[in-house]
Chain A
């Protein structure tokens, strides 16, 4: 028998156990390491047996039940709101959204860019400093200098 098996047996039976099967008993008497281990376990068992056991309150159920009911009620209110939203308010929001979209299109039809104002020109003329590249551009920079006179 190995020490590991002995310890597993001891964990199941507890260190205060008196009856040891023959195989266990033989290992116990021949292994000083396991004898020390049993002594140690017995010592700790005695120590922990001295610690007082906290006695539990027996009236937990009514309070637990009340808390469960409170959460169930809260869930019910939430579910009712979700149902109200999905069945009543959601269609109203959809209709409102469609009406707003139609109204906006009616007042401002989709804009077309005027042919006389190319967007690139506006970009270059309007914000030269901001759009200037970090590196020298052999084609763009001379052209830009030319347009500025």
Chain B
């Protein structure tokens, strides 16, 4: 079986099946990433994922192989998701919306905790909403580093920032997240 580099070399020569292999290998990861950046119910999610792969197909001749194809396509997807967030922000503030939703959720979750009925799934939803409420520059670092499990080097390549910048942004993102989650979640996780 041909390795990934062969598929990457063959796709720009018009071998559409080679590109299909690459899409099938990375679509779940890209979908997950975009869902975490935009929110899983976002209407343009499929379009963002598809556009990222279409853009990758037509830019494959510019891919120099300095990073892996996975890192490269992730970078394209992050940029495409960023454009979508910017577009939406022109209509309404996504961050403010997320914060409103988080506050609503906090009220529901507090009632649930009082009744002692809070499940792991509910805590998970709470964490997800807290991440979604982060400003985009922090959300993307948390998504790539903590949720996708990429290394600082990979994140720095995807975001086109130095490793030092990524590390400091990551620390600030966790600090913000800690503030959003509040002491209640820490009690729940430690128990």
Contacts and interface: CB of A to CB of B under 8 A. Distances in A.
B187 to A, nearest CB: 12
B46 A54 contact: no
B40 interface: yes
A50 B23 contact: no
Contacts of A148: none
A50 B50 contact: no
B124 A50 contact: yes
B147 A51 contact: yes
A73 to B, nearest CB: 13
B84 to A, nearest CB: 16
Interface in B14-30: 16, 19-20, 23-24, 27-28, 30
B7 interface: no
Contact of B189 (A43, A52, A71): A43
Nearest to A63: B50
A46 B131 CA distance: 14
A43 B189 CA distance: 8
A68 B23 CA distance: 12
Contacts of B57: 64, 68
B185 A60 contact: no
Contacts of A65: 16, 20
Interface residues of A, number: 23
Contacts of A46: 189
A53 interface: yes
Interface in B29-74: 30-32, 35-36, 40, 46, 49-51, 53-54, 57-58
Interface of B: 16, 19-20, 23-24, 27-28, 30-32, 35-36, 40, 46, 49-51, 53-54, 57-58, 120-121, 123-125, 127-128, 131, 146-147, 151-152, 174, 181, 185-186, 189-190
29 contacts: A43-B186, A44-B174, A46-B189, A47-B185, A47-B189, A50-B120, A50-B123, A51-B124, A51-B127, A51-B128, A52-B121, A54-B36, A56-B27, A56-B28, A56-B31, A56-B49, A58-B27, A58-B28, A60-B23, A60-B31, A60-B50, A61-B20, A61-B24, A63-B46, A64-B53, A65-B16, A67-B54, A68-B16, A71-B58
